[in-house]
Amino acid sequence: MNKVIFLDRDGVINMERGDYTWKPEDFEFTPNLFDALKHWSNKGFSYVVITNQGGIAKGLYGHQHVQALNSIVEERFAAEGLHLLDIYYSPYHSDFSKSLSRKPDSLMLEKAIHTYKIDGGRSYMIGDSKRDIIAAEKVGVPGILIEPNKSLMHILNEIK
């Protein structure tokens, strides 16, 4: 079975701006992200991005905008030699629609675990919100809560 690190997007992969990030010109990777990811990749981890994108439900941007940013992430991971299995996003927002895919619910993680035969007990979720950790815990994946926009270098040893 595969071991992965599930990554939230805004605040973990890219800088959280305090507003929705959906334009390529507003997308900026967090400091030292790829140094940390390469460290864990050398330990046999692959990656899955799990992100709420409630701005779609609010009508602020569309699926095509999220997919454009997903392409930036996919291309950079590939250029860095990192194995990104998939990117899952929930287009729902609790003010407009209900969905089990939106964190803190766990449907996105459940789909990834099933699709990629992931061993939840050997995997981790890194998020900058309690809802990320709650979603992971629902499927038996240990969560690591970080401050938004901080380098992941300080948690290198928390992932074995």
Sheet holding 84-90, edge to edge: 84-90, 46-52, 4-7, 124-127, 143-145
d(CA 141, CA 5): 9
Is there a catalytic annotation at residue 86? no
**Which residue of the set 10, 105, 128, 132 is catalytic?**
10
The single residue listed with the structure tokens 């061993």 is 119
Angle between the N-to-C axes of helices 130-138 and 107-116, in degrees from 0 to 180, rounded to the nearest 10: 50
Is there a catalytic annotation at residue 10? yes
Query: Active-site positions?
Result: 8, 10
